[in-house]
Every structure is written in C-alpha cells, then in structure tokens.
Chains A and B, each alone.
Chain A
Amino acid sequence: MTQPSLLGRVVATERRPNTPHEFHFWTGLDSPVGVGTIVRVEGKYTINGQITRVYGVVVEGFSYSDLQSPLHDVLGHDGSPAAASLASTERAEIRLYTAAVLRQIPDEPLQPVPLGEVYLADDSDVAIALRMDGYLAEGARTGIPIGVYHAGGTDAPIYLDADFLMGPEAAHLNITGVSGLATKTSAIEWILSSIFTHFPAQKGSIAAVCFNVKGPDLCFLDEEGTIDDRDRALYEKCGVPAGPFENVQYYAPYKSDGISLNTLRSNEALLHNVTPLTWGLREVLQYAEVLLNKDDVDAKADALIDFIRERIVDRDFHDDQMLPGKRYRVRSFADLEQWFRDLLVAMEQRGNESWRTHHIATIRKVRNRLSNISTRCAGLVTDDGNVGDLPFGSFQDRTVYVIDVASLEEDAQDLVFARVVTKLREQLEKRELGVKHVIVFVDELNKYAPGDGQDTYVRKMLLDLAERGRYLGLVLFSAQQFRSQVHRRVVGNSGTALYGRMDADELATPGYAVLSPAVKTKLATLEKGQLMVRHPHFTQPIFVRFPRPAILRGRDGAERYPQQQDVSLEAAVLRALRPLDSSITLNWVKDITDMYEREAVLRAKNATLLERPADVKRFFKSQLAPIVPSKPVSRPMVTPIRTAPADDPYGL
C-alpha cells in the first residue's frame, strides 16, 4: 500500500480562524485540488485517546501573491504585459482553500479543526467522510450507487442510503437543472437502473411508474443505446450492469380517432409492450373534481355528482314516480347521457323544478360538464365504458411502467396523474399492489406543483405524496428546471436532491444562499454527466459523475423507430387483435367489420382486448350485434288499372 502523499497544511489566523464546521488549508500550485474535492486532515493531538481526524470538502478557493497593489505589478513591468512574461522570477503565490467539515473523528467533543497535514481522501476516507460506512457494512448494506466521486487519483463510488431514498427514514428525490443537457432524464434513468440492481432484498420488491410528459424522453427504456468506455467504467465501478431495462410496460391513450395510439412509441416493432390506456365513466367520475374547476362544481353540483356516483353508477336504478317503468344500470358515459336525457324530459313534461332536492338547473349543468369530459379527454376516456388500465394488483418487481401523457391535453394529464397516483396509494395501503415500493417519476414539476398560483388537485396530490408517501412505500422522484418555482413542501420533503448544470438566475434565488460562490460557479458550469448531490447522510453537497444511460435516447429512438402513420380502422383492429391470435388477417377483419359502424367495431375491439378470450375471433364477432339478413318481399297481386277508352276523355 502506497503512503498517501501530503497535499497541504491547515492554516488559521485570527482574521480567518478555523471553526468546527470550516477550515482553511494551502497547497502546492500543482496540487489536484478543486471545489468539491474531499480531503482528510490528520491532527497532531489526541482527544479521548484518539488522534483527531477531520474530513472536509472544498467549498472555496483563493489565490493571491505578495503584491500589495496591482499597480506595483504594472510599475514593475513598465506597463507592458509582455514584459511580465520575461521576468526572471515568478512572484510568490498561494493556493488557499476553504473546506466545509464533513465529519470529525472523534465526533465528541466537537472542536475547531486543528492545524495539521492535509491529504487527498481515498476510497475509504470518502466512505467515512460521507458516513457511508454506516450503511455499507456487510449484512446490513443498503447503499444505492449514485455515481463516482473523482478527484486526483481517487475514483470512489458514492452511495445513497436506501432507507433514506425509498423510506421509511426519509424519502423522495428531486433533480433540477437546465433543459437540453440530457442530465435530468438521464440521471433518473441511471438511478432507476442502480436502484433495480442494488435495492436490498430485505426491503422487498420495487417498481417504477414514470410519466412521460414531453417528447420521446422515456419512450425507449427497453432499447439499447450506445455508451463509451468511460461510461462503461463508471457502470463497472458502481456495480450496475450497462444495459436497458429488462421489464418495461408502456401505456398510452388513443388519439381522438380511437384507433391510433397517442404516443411516439407507436412503431409496429415496439408495440408488443404498449397497452392502450382507456378509462370509462367509473374510473373518471371518482376524479371529477380534477376536470371540473371550482366554478363548475359548487356545493349543489357536488352533491348531485356524489348522488350519481353513489346511487346511479354501476347500480340498478329506478324511479317509478319520475321515470315509471324504466330501469337503468349506468356503466358508461353513453348510459349516463341516456339517464340524464330521460330525467330532464320527464321533469320538463311534468313541469317539475327539482328532483330529489336537485334543481333542474343544477342537473342540466352537471349533465353538461360530465358529458363534456369524454370530449375533452377523447382517446383516454371512452363513451362505451371499456377500460384499459395499469395492472393494479399485479405489479411486477423491477419493472418500469411508463405512462405516455406527452400528447394529452392538460386536463387529461391531470386526470391521469390523479387517478394513477391515488390508485397506487390505495393499493399500497392495502398491500395489494403486487410490489412493496413504487417510485413515481414526474418531470416538469414547475408545471404540476408550482410554488404559486391556484391550488389544483394534482398539486394537492403531489404534496400528499411528498409528505406521506414514504410511510406507504410510495416515493416521488421529481424533476424540474427551476427548483425555486416548485412548491416548497414538495422539494423540502425530498430527502435527496440532485443538481445538474444550473442557470445563473436560478442560482441567485434565496434557496441557494447556503452554497458558496465557488460551488455556485461550479454548478453553473457543470459538464454533462455531473451532478451535485445532497443526501441526509452528507453534511455537505458532493459532486459526482454518472454514466450515460445504456438506453436509446429519446431523439435517437424517434429517428430509428418512426411514429406509425394513422391507420385504417381495419388495420388498427388487426394490430390490436393479432397479438392475441396470430391467425387473424386483414381480410378477416374486413369481412367481419364491413357492415358495422366505426363505434361498434371499436367497442368490440376494446371489449376483446379487455377480456383476452381464448377464442379471439368468436368473442370479437360476438361483440358485434348480429345483422339480420334481408329477405325478398313477395309483392301482392294488384288489380290492374282499367284503361280508359280512347274516345272517352272522362273515362266513363
């Protein structure tokens, strides 16, 4: 084992003293020290029988010479900068660094950092300095590699504590950084890979639900991308296999035509794991308040919606007084519309102003708003009540479930967030989801949980998730460009925070006041693949490098797998049913559906997909109403009209 080389010496003056949380040291001009470097100080004296040892991270650097005034240098070189390079001697110069204390050994009593020798931290020093030794012990290992710390000759993997990343101690992760540097999404993909590889077995199963909110970012997680040797070395250092995710399921709603998937992952070669996401009345009504704003839903309307939810939907309903002889079982928006129509007609005929305390105006208003939902969320919400949904109850371990909402309207996106997260929470509470932990990844948090603006259902839901999710195993991984514009309680509850390259304006906001100017400068100039990490175990932010994900990048994927053009109804049916029965042909579909309306065909297709029957052809046909064949009608004998005499114009 080679002796560590001396890097510098701790210095302290009355004007610039050392404290228990900060110290200063100088180094040679060529030392491999910079902002973010972790160093070890060896004290000279023992405390409680132990030689003091202090670990710190460089947060500021200074350089100066023995010049008292810049003017002296000008005078010394006769005002000519070129003459300065000819000077026989370089001025004495100092590299003085300020380091923030990461850890002191012994921990007590907490004393100012002693004068001592400074060494570059090696792998074991980094583990101790960041208190990783507590969760990297054999048998109780809960470390999740987040990247590699690099300084001088040291390349040390940095681990997060799974108990503080996934709960129950702390939880949630937030990443911020400017757009367009492939940092935020790449980092999340890398971290998910790392978690899936290193999540401790004793903590149970884990899955991820990712909302793809823009472009093709998350559309090719199961496709291999190219990485270089440097990335490969980082993967190896962190013990994570370099490759795409093995188990990924995609969910995307239809376009408004009801047959083409509204996603950039619509290429036929990739459709094997893409499932249409469609919801009916039952799924939507529970989250009506997501789609209806406060102006729409006053107390009276809310009461009627509750009544419909509790007494109408999925229940046998009859009202012999108002709707004599009629029985309803409302399962779809179409059924609901029929019920509304009958009720309003009956009220108008009878001249009733109210029904069961609900005023006719309120009934009209609720009808209008609810009927509108299937139009506003066309492709996601179906009139016919067929449902394509995430596999709630049978989530698989180490599987990524991507919900592509990138092309959805804002209302529909909100509905998807609200329903999926609520369902996850409900099922995790009951331990019925199929996995013990779920990571929910939401990008563009500026938009969904802004710090200002009116309160929305989605923001409330994200706040609830951030504040109470960790007890359930529901963990929020969020990303945004401007952390300062996200609700404080969402980012504040994120135990782990990552920072990519930052915008200077963002760094000027009060939230970054705790960072030194040098750290801010470094943040503003971070390279791709570098992150600053804050974690509950780390007393100071640490800079790490992470590998480029071995996953096909969104833009490359969109080029390699172009989006499928809109297809005919028959082709869409064929594409949907072919995975269930490979004997189905386009001609068969054409023959079967030729005589039917578009809506009927779609209804049959959706029902078949939902049922996944053994005999696909028979089931599909059974969903189409039988067409009664036409019969030739026998013409009755008709008495011929008598012809009039040619000479009798009156026919007499």
Chain B
Amino acid sequence: MTVVLRAAMDQGLLALQRQLRALAPDAALVTDGEQALEHLTPDTRPPRLVGADVIEAGPMRARRVFGDPIVAFAAFLDGTQTSRVLAYVDGVPIVLGTVAAAVRVRRNRRLTTWHRPVVQRKLYGALAALLPAHRRALESLGVPLVDTMTSAGATTHPFVLRDDAVHRIQDDREAAERELAECWCHLEHEPLFIDGSISGSDRVAAAECTVGVVKSHRTLYAEGAALQTIFALRRAERSSVFKVTSPKRMPVASWYLRLRDPVGHDPMWGLVRVEIASPPRIDVGAIGEKADSVSRWILAEAAPLAMPDSRWDKMVYGIRDCEEFLRAVT
C-alpha cells in the first residue's frame, strides 16, 4: 500500500469542496492542507511474534538458494490508497478516499498496464450522525457515500470516526487488489507478483500462478531460535517453508528470503516474506524445490533498484512501477 502524493489528490478534493460550499455553506471545510490521513493514523496493530509450523524437511534453518535467478514473473500487482478530510459536517469528518490497483504486465522487458486499472473515489463518514439536509448535500456531490458507522451507539469522537474511515478505505483498497488478482487468476496462467499477502482471497491464495511478497514485518512468523535463524539469513538465502494460518484467511505456504546483503543494516533489511498457495498434500521435498524456484524468480527482480523509494531494499522495480503508474492516474 502506498500513500498518493497530496498534489495529485488536491485537484479532486478542491472541486468537491467548492461544490459542498455551495450546497452546505455551514460545513467546515478543511482547506489548510492537512496531511493524508494515512500519515496521521498510526498502525494500531501491535508488533508480534507468531509461531508457525515448518512444512519443509527438518527444523527451521537457513537454506542457500542455488542457481541463477530466473525471470519468471509476467506481471506485478499493487494498490494504493489516499484519504483526506473533505470537511467536518455536524462534527463528523467526511473523508475523501481514493483507492486504486493495477497489474503491470512485462513484455519485452517493459511494463505496460494489463486490462483496466481499478480506480475508485468515495466519501466516507458516519452518515447516521449527520443532519438529513447535510446528508442530502453530500449525496448530491455525485461521489458514492460509504457509511462508516459500525453501530448505532458507537462513539462520535471525530478521531475515532476518522480512523474508522481510513480502515474502510484500506478494506476497499484490499478489495480492489483482490479483484484484480482474481481476474488475473481467471484469465492468465503466468506467474503474478503481488505486493502483500495473498491469503485474503480464497481463489488467489489457492492459485498456482500467484506469489505474494510481504515487505512489512509487524508480525514475524518465528520465535526463539527460529527467529535468530531468520535474522541471520544472508543474501540469497531463505528460511525453511512454514505454514501461515489465520482464522479469517486462507492458509498459505510461506518463507523468508533475503534479497540484499544486510551487513550494516537492521535485521529486517532486504528481508521479505514470500507466500504461495499451500499444497493440499504436503510433500516435504516438493515444497522445498518450489520455494527455491520461486526464490530464484524473486531474486531476479532485485535489479533494477526501486530507488528512490525508501523501501527499495525490499521492493522490486515492478511494484514501484505499479505505484508510479497509480500515482499518475489517481
């Protein structure tokens, strides 16, 4: 997920604010150039360690990925979101959220857009807390409205309402990514590099052609010695494959892979977690070979660098290209 630059967003925001001022002059428009909410809303998920079952032969250990990198990914998928407060109406923050997702397909070593990207713009707010006239004014703006009120007795503190809106926008962004990934799985068979987890969609998580690459490590799937093993991974080394399960998500096979030499950096530098479909029947030999193969695909994407993005140590160029494309079209 990426936050779209403010300048790209302002155009639509200002137009809506002008319309709203005409329809509801008493609405408190936010015109002071406030930051995108993604920067203001902290990630409330606590960092945690979760134990996982190793499904490859032997205990959790570092495994060298032998062989030259292989260029295998045909396309890259990523999504973006941005949220800005349009106005405070009756004390309720009305948030303009834009979500987008795109698949960039690689042909002749150049990336172009596959099918149509998903771009959605909606207004998010606790609609039940608004006066009917103000609600009608918002409805007449021509942008879909999303009610973020979770329950009738929920608190009406604006910050809480604002965070709720951001979470709904995040859900929408994930849904957009999921929609495109499922479409790819339906129409294509070549490997798709997905930025983030694939476990959110049954179809994508079970597909042979999708590979999820997770850059954030708020949740680490190892404890104790296994964690030390992961931290000690050197460039082009991977961990043993383990199974990630969650009550709300599909189980997937996963492993850690070090893309770049971490000497002089923090332990998570250049470290990604890879997800692929969990095989219905675990074959300890075959899953290791598959992990090696997919690791070689991912290592092939280590160049060109995704600079100047600050996450370039973990990000591949195809994902940066997706983000740049979405930045241009949203």
Contacts and interface: CB of A to CB of B under 8 A. Distances in A.
Contacts of A67: 307
B22 interface: no
B109 A90 contact: yes
B1 to A, nearest CB: 20
A92 B308 contact: no
Contact of A88 (B301, B305, B307, B308): B301
Nearest to B300: A88
A88 B296 CA distance: 12
B56 interface: no
Given A89-B109, A89-B111, A72 B307 contact: yes
A68 B304 contact: no
B324 A92 contact: yes
A231 to B, nearest CB: 38
A75 B106 contact: no
Contacts of A72: 305, 307-308
Nearest to B72: A88
Contact of A76 (B71, B73, B111, B307): B307
A73 interface: yes
A342 to B, nearest CB: 96
B114 interface: no
A91 B304 contact: yes
Q: Chain B: interface secondary structure? A: mixed
Interface in A493-528: none
A88 B300 CA distance: 7
Name the residue in B73, B301, B308, B317 with the highest tally of chain A Cβ atoms < 10 Å from its Cβ: B317
A68 B300 CA distance: 22
Contacts of B300: 88
A66 B320 CA distance: 10
B291 to A, nearest CB: 19
A68 B306 CA distance: 10
Contacts of A88: 71, 73, 106, 109, 300-301, 303, 317
Interface string B287-330: 00000000000001101110110000000011011001000000
Nearest to B76: A89
Nearest to B108: A90
B165 to A, nearest CB: 31
A380 B42 CA distance: 100
A77 interface: yes
A76 B301 CA distance: 11
Given A89-B109, A92-B111, A76 B305 contact: yes
A91 to B, nearest CB: 5
A92 B321 contact: yes
Q: Chain A: interface secondary structure? A: loop
Contacts of A66: 320, 324
A87 B308 contact: no
A482 B324 CA distance: 50
Nearest to A29: B110
A301 B305 CA distance: 86
Contacts of B73: 88
B110 A87 contact: no
Nearest to B318: A89
A83 interface: yes
Contacts of B321: 89, 92
Contacts of B303: 76-77, 83-84, 86-88
Interface in A163-194: none
Nearest to B69: A88
B213 to A, nearest CB: 14
Contact of A89 (B110, B307, B308): B110
A89 B305 contact: no
A75 B303 CA distance: 9
B305 to A, nearest CB: 4
Contact of A68 (B71, B110, B307, B317): B307
A90 B305 contact: no
Nearest to A91: B304
Name the residue in A67, A72, A89, A92 with the highest tally of chain B Cβ atoms < 10 Å from its Cβ: A89
B238 to A, nearest CB: 19
A76 B308 contact: no
A90 B110 contact: yes
A83 B302 CA distance: 12
Contacts of A76: 303-305, 307
Interface string A70-102: 001101110000011011111110000000000
Nearest to B70: A88
Contacts of A92: 111, 321, 324
A72 B309 CA distance: 11
A358 to B, nearest CB: 90
Nearest to A87: B303
B127 to A, nearest CB: 37
A91 B320 CA distance: 10
Contacts of A87: 109, 303-304
Contacts of A86: 303
Nearest to A72: B307
Interface string B107-124: 001110000000000000
8 contacts: A73-B305, A75-B307, A76-B304, A87-B304, A88-B106, A88-B300, A88-B317, A91-B317
5 residue pairs, one from A and one from B, having the closest CB atoms: A76-B305, A68-B308, A72-B307, A88-B71, A90-B109
Interface of A: 66-69, 72-73, 75-77, 83-84, 86-92
Given A72-B308, A89-B301, 11 more contacts: A68-B308, A72-B307, A73-B304, A83-B303, A86-B303, A87-B304, A88-B73, A88-B106, A88-B301, A88-B317, A89-B304
